[in-house]
Amino acid sequence: MKKNLITMITVIITLSLAVLGFVLGGFEFSKLQLETLLILAAICAFSVLFCFIVGELTMNNSQVDKLWSILPIAYAWVMAIKGGMDLRIVIMAVLITLWGIRLTYNFAKKGAYSIKFWSGEEDYRWVVLKNNPKLNKRWKWGLFNFFFISLYQNALILAITLPLLAVMESTVALNVFDILVAVLLFGFIVLESVADRQQMAFQTKKYELLKKEKDLSKLPSPYNKGFNTQGLWGRSRHPNYFSEQSIWVVLYLFTISAGVTTHFLFNWTLVGSMLLILLFIGSSKFSESITLKKYPEYENYINKVSKYVPLRKYKD
């Protein structure tokens, strides 16, 4: 009950911030910003069609997952070039590039990419959803694929990068606050890298042990649980998700430094990071429901460890 209440409060706050950013932020675009937005929208539209068509033909619906870490880099440098390589935008683009390269490499190590670009490892959550009675009809899955997987997620990928568009016409010079924001954002990239590395090391070792001993319960601790409770994962159930969300919220802070926010520091580009948080709330809940079915001890872990912010240390 307490966890559901916290989730509900988080959703309400996030939605409220998204609405405030949308309503109070204003939509006054310069000619340059409109030209740039049209280019970005064209790339996004092509990506939507690609993900939908390839996903339908191959039934591998991880096409958007493969592009999740690549498209923001493309969007960022389009805005940097159109913005005359302004130093603030270049710093933002470089940080997004570092984030994207690391995440793409990490995803590639899981077998997500292939010479046959349409193949590769499919996210296990799509496989589970395809068998859901509400979506297991071919036409129902097709609609879900188009509207949520392909359209919504591609639009969200574009939306989270739009703080770069907002600062394109800023007349405020690069300042100390920009540097602090850049350092903070880089810190979350490092944190996400550490979390992903710890998770991959744990899972790799677990499956190595399972090749010798098929019974999970007979593996040495902590591998016998089936899920990671070490390092950052001993203080947060999703330290990678926490870092990912924080990266895009912090990116928004550049718009404050650039002086393009109004009405209590709001502008419309806040919508992207807020919608991302909502996506992760749903995604993490779904992932945990799957893990609970696989590993009985996970419920105890849920009760002892924070969902996102690394706080309480897990004790067996």
Of 30-39, 216-225, 268-277, the range with the highest mean pLDDT is 30-39
Is the pLDDT at 261 greater than 80? The verdict is: no
Q: Are 308 and 241 in contact (CB under 8 A)?
A: yes
Q: Give the mean pLDDT of 24-35.
A: 81
Residue 3 pLDDT greater than 60, yes or no: no
Whether the predicted pLDDT of 264 surpasses 80: no
Who has greater pLDDT, 68 or 24?
Answer: 68
- How far is residue 83 from each of residues 78, 118, 164, 250, measured CA to CA in Å? 8, 34, 9, 21
How far is the C-alpha of 97 from the C-alpha of 246, rounded, in Å?
A: 16
- Kindly tell me if the per-residue pLDDT of 57 is higher than 60: yes
Q: Is the pLDDT of residue 109 over 60?
A: yes
- Label residue 19 by pLDDT band (50, 70, 90): low
Beta-ladder partners of 306: 236
The mean pLDDT of 272-288, rounded to a whole number, is: 92
What's the one-letter identity of residue 77? Answer: W
State residue 213's pLDDT score.
Answer: 85
Within the chain, residue ranges assigned H as helices are 2-24, 31-58, 63-67, 71-82, 87-109, 124-130, 138-144, 153-161, 163-166, 176-212, 239-257, 270-294, 298-304
Does pLDDT of 31 surpass 70?
Answer: yes
The percentage of the chain sitting over the pLDDT mark of 90, rounded to a whole number, equals 65
- In tens, the pLDDT along 70-91 reads 999 999 999 999 999 999 999 9
* pLDDT tens string 183-213: 999 999 999 999 999 999 999 999 999 988 8
Predicted pLDDT at 15: 65
Q: What is the pLDDT of residue 25?
A: 63
Q: Give the pLDDT confidence score for residue 9 in this predicted structure.
A: 66
Q: Provide the token pair at 248.
A: 């895009």
More confident residue, 10 or 85: 85
3-state secondary structure of 235: coil
d(CA 310, CA 304): 12
User: Where is pLDDT greater, at 113 or 171?
Assistant: 171
C-alpha triplet 176, 253, 43: angle, nearest 5°: 120
Between 132 and 35, name the one with better pLDDT: 35
Q: In the structure encoding, which two tokens stand for residue 206, read together? A: 């677990």
Residues 156-172 pLDDT 10s: 999 999 999 999 989 99
**Mean pLDDT of all residues in the chain?**
89
| CA–CA distance, 307 with 316 (Å, rounded to integer) | 17
